Amino acid sequence: MTKQKPRFRAAAVQAAPIFLDLDATIDKAIGLIEEAAGNGADLVAFPETFIPGYPWYIWLDSVAWQMQFVQRYFENALEYGSPQAERLAKAARDSKIMVAMSHSERDGGSLYMGQWIIGPDGRTIAKRRKLKPTHVERTVFGEGDGRDLSVYDSELGKIGALCCWEHLQPLSKYAMFAQNEQVHIAAWPSFSIFPGGAYQLGPEVNTGASRAYAVEGGCFVIAPTALVSPEMSEILCDTDTKKALLTVGGGYAQIYAPDGQMISNVLAPDEEGLVYADIDLGMISLAKGPADPSGHYSRSDVTRLVLDKTPREAMLVLHADSPARNLADEAPEDEPDVKTV
């Protein structure tokens, strides 16, 4: 007997954080988790760096002006293993719902644009980091590595996640498609910056990227987006010019089917809440029938992708019995520095 593909309800968050307040934002996140579960959702996904909010100050003024936010932002980022992280895991477990949290991850003295997928039992399914922060984000966040382009088995199917403009990177997308991703979390900030002045940062392009990901990959895409709240505007925009550069609202949370159609309800761009869609993984066979990007529609004899998942660690500790301990000393003198394969 053929096993039926999973069917479930998914929710995407459209909401603003309590900016620069870790505990208050977790309180709000837990409320949204409980609301999603109460409305029958088996999965709820949060916007990019929902905890403690996207650092819009990096787009608005000089580095000197930004310094007033640096320590506050760092101290309110989420650290794995902390009491705040345990609260999120407990909320997922108590509500029996899978949570895809997007957050500023604090690790040592560095921050990363993290995504944490928590199972309905409160256990971690995946932790990942944005592979390459975009533009001025690189002044705040470090980079991930090849391990962060991974797809994970779950009771809701093969699930993966990317942040924001990772959805404009063709090779990163293909790495996910080639791992037979079925459910994709596309975490976005609000589409609020430079209205009328940077079309590629606006809702048309970026919701289009989520839709294109769905139809290219033949997968479901859960695309939460954040909002800029009036309270955030008061904190970040101390001049009329800044208020014109970063507008209130900017929410466009949506959910797409593998054929590219939007299947969720829609909220107004300044409205907080959740959008929902019923997911039937059986639809994927209909979408991939004509075009499976890494299967029957691929030409691996012509083009192939190499994905290197080697960890990029800052320090390698070698011991006396480590095989690689004296590799540099033992290498033949005539061995070339570069090998061609």
| Boundaries of every domain in the chain | 7-288
Element at 29 (helix H, strand E):
helix 22-38
- CA-angle at 246, arms to 245 and 247, nearest 5°: 115
Q: What is the arithmetic mean of pLDDT over 200-213? A: 97
Is the pLDDT at 174 greater than 80, yes or no?
A: yes
Residue 122 has pLDDT above 90, yes or no: yes
Rounded average pLDDT over 139-145 = 97
Supply the pLDDT for residue 326: 52
Q: C-alpha angle with apex 48: 161 to 154, nearest 5 degrees?
A: 30
| pLDDT-derived band at 321, boundaries 50, 70, 90 | confident
Query: Region 25-32: what's the mean pLDDT?
Result: 98
Instruction: Name the residues annotated as catalytic.
Output: 48, 130, 164
- Please tell me the pTM assigned to this model: 0.92
Of 54-58, 241-245, 282-286, 327-331, the least confident? 327-331
Using alpha carbons, select from 149, 144, 98, 143 the residue that is nearest to residue 124.
98
Specify the fold of 7-288.
Answer: Nitrilase/N-carbamoyl-D-aminoacid amidohydrolase (3.60.110)
Residues 6+ apart with CB under 8 A from 253: 12, 13, 14, 47, 223, 224, 225, 264, 267, 274, 275
Mean pLDDT of the chain: 94
Structure-block tokens of residue 184: 């994709």
